């Protein structure tokens, strides 16, 4: 279930080993899935709530990343902030 972005900010001392583990599993899943492999997707986790950040060149990649994340154990919600941009035109 998508979450509001303001609910995914926390001081760094609140990150737990469980968040680190979930982040690792998500990164592994994204890297091993052919739809998202090699994409620059940043993953942040706070208490099992996930935020995906970055730029992708295809809406299908954005949707695939969300589907991958939502299917993993330990994920209690996510906010997909991946932006779809075409070509080399990325906002600063």
Question: What residues does each domain of the chain span?
Answer: 14-84
Dihedral, CA of residue 12, residue 69, residue 36 and residue 3, to nearest 10: -70
More confident residue, 70 or 8: 70
Q: What does the pLDDT look like over 19-59, one tens digit per residue?
A: 899 999 999 999 999 999 999 999 999 989 999 999 999 99
Where would I find the beta strands (DSSP E) of 1-92?
41-46, 49-56, 77-84
The answer to whether the predicted template modeling score (pTM) of the entire model surpasses 0.95 is: no
Q: How many angstroms separate the CA atoms of 41 and 27, rounded?
A: 8
Architecture of domain 14-84 in CATH?
2-Layer Sandwich (3.30)
């Amino acid at each position: 279930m998508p979450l509001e972005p303001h609910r995914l900010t926390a001081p760094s001392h609140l990150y737990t080993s469980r968040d680190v583990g979930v982040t690792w599993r998500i990164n592994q899943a994204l890297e091993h899935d052919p739809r998202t492999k090699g994409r620059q997707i940043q993953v942040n986790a706070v208490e099992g709530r996930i935020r995906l950040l970055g730029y992708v060149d295809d809406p299908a990649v954005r949707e695939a990343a969300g589907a991958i994340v939502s299917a993993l154990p330990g994920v209690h919600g996510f906010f997909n902030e991946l932006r779809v941009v075409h070509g080399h035109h990325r906002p600063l």
